[in-house]
Structure 1
Amino acid sequence: MIKAPEVHIKATKLAKSVKVTDGSLTILHDISLTINRGESVAIVGASGSGKSTLLSLLAGLDIPTSGEVYLAGKALHNLTEDQRAAIRASDVGFVFQSFLLLPGLTALENVTLPAELAADKQAKQRGLALLQQVGLAERADFYPAQLSGGEQQRVAIARAFITSPAVLFADEPSANLDAATGQKIEDLLFKLNSDQGTTLILVTHNNDLAARCQRQLRMQAGRFVSDDVKDMADVG
């Protein structure tokens, strides 16, 4: 008997509105989705379509105005910020286009910080191993200002994986990089996703990057307009 896929993330009728001068603005309308463990999913659409807002809700960085969102069976919409932060620390990794490295810490210190905050006694060893994996072992003692944009993004990816997250959210991870460096970063994300079985959710307007994922969820004006599923035989 074939085992049914394990649901990792589920959202039901999510909506998000924000207050504006003359009332409120609805950013997301009635969003429902299911993402299985280990899937790679691209959320695509033009700027302002609601992609990053949806990512924030799925990752527990924000809460919906209405609707429900579950991560590994945990009802994020019912939790406090401290409770959501604890889940993010244990289960979630993030890669943003702006890198978000701390300038006063070395590459190794940036990578190991989440593990050290979690009292991981093997943080340094694991950090060095991850820097080796992303090709930056020789840059471990460099500060962010001494690294190129591509190198900083590789440090950010290593940091995202230091806690062995169950799910990795990446928001335009190669948008600020040249084409060649961006390709290497994208290859690295999919390799780590494949090697560790991590659920990968990408927010992007890059159609070529989105096409590498098993599914593409297309957004327009805060709604899904399609859910394109790639033939699993083509995934690689």
Structure 2
Amino acid sequence: MSNRTAIKVSNLTHTVTSNTGDLTILKGINMEILESESVAIVGASGSGKSTLLGLLAGLDINTSGDIFVYDQAFSSLNEEKRAIIRGQYVGFVFQSFHLLPSLQAIENVMLPAELKGDKNARQKAEALLNKVGLSHRLTHYPNQLSGGEQQRVAIARAFASQPKILFADEPTGNLDEENGKLIIDLLFDLNQSQGTTLVMVTHDNELAKMCGRQLIMSSGQLTEKSL
């Protein structure tokens, strides 16, 4: 494992405004994740896990504090510059897939590589879909796929950009046991063979225990679980 810091968070807070007033979801979070680490963030529903993951990936803007991704002050950048850094470093597996409905499975997976100008985007996408057991579903649209199949397409798409950091929000939440094991094996293979930093939110304690570290989110605060 590298000693280089992939993600550093300093005094991070996040507050949202609702009809009933301000609600502080994250309260003064400090953390550091090294390159090539595998980290699980666990905690009860509504504790702020997915909110934190989205902020770390630059999908939302925090209220105060700082997020650094490879020493770049992510949280102070505008959306355009955050998108550039996401393209360079970040892959994200969403709980709700976020597949583009008008694109076939293979086109969804090709997209990140195509945006980088990769001439072998289709070949790589076919190989990834084969790896997640979907070589027979290349030309199917998302609405023709089951929830588990859509999740596997989403994971293949996240791998397509060969990210340095992969964020995964409940990556096995929509999968049966067999496909869940397949995806877990893929996630940790990417982490170990390519040195990809893996940060996941999960309710699955067995999956969390497979990670090098476990962080517990409770009432908007983060603590490290001693193993």
TM range (shorter): over 0.9
* Counterparts of 1:190 and 1:130, CA distance in 2: 15
Corresponding residue number in structure 1 for 2:213: 215
Q: Which moved more, 1:201-210 or 1:147-156?
A: 147-156
Q: In structure 1, list runs of 5 or more residues that go unmatched.
A: 231-236
Q: Does 1:177 align with 2:172?
A: no
Where do 4+ consecutive residues of structure 1 move more than 4 Å?
A: none
* Deviation readout 1:142-199 (Å, 9 max, x if unpaired): 2223333322222111110111111010001111222332232222221222222110
Q: Which residue of 2 aligns with 1:233?
A: none
1:82: Cα distance to partner?
A: 0.7
CA RMSD of superposed structures (Å): 1.7
Mapped contact 1:14–1:67 kept (Cα < 8 A):
yes
Pair 1:168-2:181 in alignment: no
> Which secondary structure state, in structure 2, belongs to the residue aligned with residue 216 of structure 1?
strand
Alpha-carbon distance, 1:4 to partner: 6.4
Identity fraction in percent: 57
- Match of residue 227, structure 1, among 213, 218, 224: 224
Partner of 2:149: 151
Segment of structure 1 superposing worse, 156-165 or 21-30: 21-30
TM-score, normalising length: structure 2: 0.93
Partners of 2:86 and 2:139 lie apart in 1 by: 27
Mean Cα displacement is larger for which, 141-150 or 209-218?
A: 141-150
Unaligned runs of 5+ in 2: none
Q: Tell me the SS of whatever aligns to 1:31.
A: strand
Aligned to 1:39: 37
8 A contact 1:44–1:205 mirrored in 2: yes
Which is further off, 113-122 or 103-112?
113-122
Matched, 1:30 2:20: no
* Separation (CA, whole Å) in 1 of partners of 2:6 and 2:78: 20
Give the deviation of 1:215 after TM superposition: 0.4
Does the 8 A contact of 1:63 with 1:76 survive in 2?
no
2 CA distance for matches of 1:16 and 1:89? 24
Moved more, 180-189 or 53-62: 180-189
Aligned partner letter, 2:216: R
2:64 counterpart letter in structure 1: S
Do 1:214 and 1:229's aligned partners in 2 also have CA atoms closer than 8 Å?
no
Query: Where in structure 2 are the equivalents of 1:27-106 lying within 5 Å?
Result: 27-106=25-104
Counterpart pick for 2:130 among 118, 132, 146? 132
